[in-house]
Amino acid sequence: MSPALVTLDRLRVHFPLRAKGFLSKTRAVVRAVDGIDLAIAPGETVGLVGESGCGKSTTGRAILQLYPPRVATITGEVHYGGRDLVALGRRGPGAMRPLRKDLQIIFQDPYASLNPRMTIGSTIAEPLKIHGLAKGSAITERVNSLLETVGLSPTMARRFPHEFSGGQRQRIGIARALAVNPKFIVCDEPISALDVSIQAQIMNLMAELRERLGLTYLFIAHDLAAVKHIAQRIAVMYLGGIVELAPADEVYERPLHPYTRALISAVPIPDPSQRERKRIRLDGEIPSPIDPPPGCHFHPRCPYAEPICKTDAPPLTEVSPGRFVACHPVARGSPFTVRAS
Ligand SMILES: Nc1ncnc2c1ncn2[C@@H]1O[C@H](COP(=O)(O)OP(=O)(O)OP(=O)(O)O)[C@@H](O)[C@H]1O
Ligand SMILES: [Mg+2]
């Protein structure tokens, strides 16, 4: 396997919750991301899925060092281009600047991330100016070609964000991310806010851009179905940790972790021959990352929990080539005997 483009090594992101007031002390800590290892190969798309609040966006933003130190305590390492981004981030925004253009993010809500008072031409030109990548008429040419790249017309450059549909606005967000010729893009639920009829178009555009421009994606989504066509591998997150990591079709066809099985059994199955698949119902809410359960974080909701699951956190273990699971019974190779209804 080729060396990774981006490697997360025990990445942790904790948000201190401060009581209001002068000289306030940190009371509690939100352990949003709590020790993630992940190596993303050049040209690969890794899907990152899990329920709301499990730490997907925090992971994406922490890779890019988008949190000022007073907001989040980031530990562990993120390797890119022979540098540790966490160490650079700690040294302040200036230290990250030379690498910023390589690492971009596309947000869920393109409207919120576009300045309503700026024409989209200026919005796309802004990163080119900040990074000194083009001057004068070369800027206009580059903006026009970026608009064409994302399927919009250069004549639209003078218009404002409110004149565009949701899908078009997401295309503008993509054009702006592409302006600086990035290598790696965190796609944070880029299609979740769009009409279902538009979602496939944007997914296809992103897949095509990855091929054409040799991009690498961390593609965040709520459920596996949303990423199984675009991602080569899928990482399933639960309460700040990765519980399963495997090639996309394998996770989908033969999920191993009880949480992944529950996530998949929540998806309607159109193929009648597959309807036999046992449903695992997820009881209860995702617990708070302020005070996560001891042992395996999933044990209070797991129909297969054993005594060890309540005390010892299972490490992410390679149970067969390329398949990683953090689950005591699965790592031991014992098939699940308790069947959930
Ligand atoms: N700036 C912050 N300060 C304090 N807590 C935060 C902050 N940002 C996120 N959190 C908390 O960290 C946890 C993880 O949040 P995150 O946004 O990463 O989840 P997510 O998986 O992206 O969820 P969603 O699917 O809803 O987008 C949540 O409990 C959230 O409330
Ligand atoms: Mg999120």
Closest Cα partner for 227 from 260, 195, 245, 252? 252
Domains contained in the chain, CATH given: 6-102+182-332 (3.40.50.300)
CA distances (Å), origin 122, targets 101, 156, 179, 247, 296: 17, 11, 12, 40, 49
In the reported structure, the alpha carbon of residue 60 is separated from the centroid of ligand 2 by a whole-number distance in angstroms of: 9
pLDDT tens track for 117-126: 999 999 999 9
pLDDT tens track for 210-241: 999 999 999 999 888 889 889 999 999 999 99
Confidence of residue 341 (pLDDT cuts 50, 70, 90): very low
Whether the CB of 219 sits within 6 Å of ligand 1: no
Percent of the chain past pLDDT 70, that is, above it, reads: 90
Go through 103-140 and write b for each residue having 16 or more CB atoms within 10 A of its CB, e for each that does not. bbbbbbbbbebbeeeebbbbbbbebbeeeebbeeeebe
Q: What is the pLDDT of residue 333?
A: 85
Q: What are phi and psi of 339, to 5 degrees?
A: -100, 130
Whether the CB of 289 sits within 6 Å of ligand 1: yes
In the reported structure, the alpha carbon of residue 105 is separated from the centroid of ligand 1 by a whole-number distance in angstroms of: 17
Whether the CB of 57 sits within 6 Å of ligand 1: yes
Residue 283 has pLDDT above 80, yes or no: no
Nearest Cα residue to atom 3 of ligand 1: 15
pLDDT tens track for 63-97: 999 999 889 999 999 999 999 999 999 998 889 98
| Pairing of the two strands 216-221 and 184-188 | parallel
pLDDT tens track for 6-34: 999 999 999 998 766 656 666 789 999 99
Nearest Cα residue to atom 16 of ligand 1: 55
| Mean of pLDDT over the chain | 90
Whether the CB of 15 sits within 6 Å of ligand 1: yes
Whether the CB of 70 sits within 6 Å of ligand 1: no
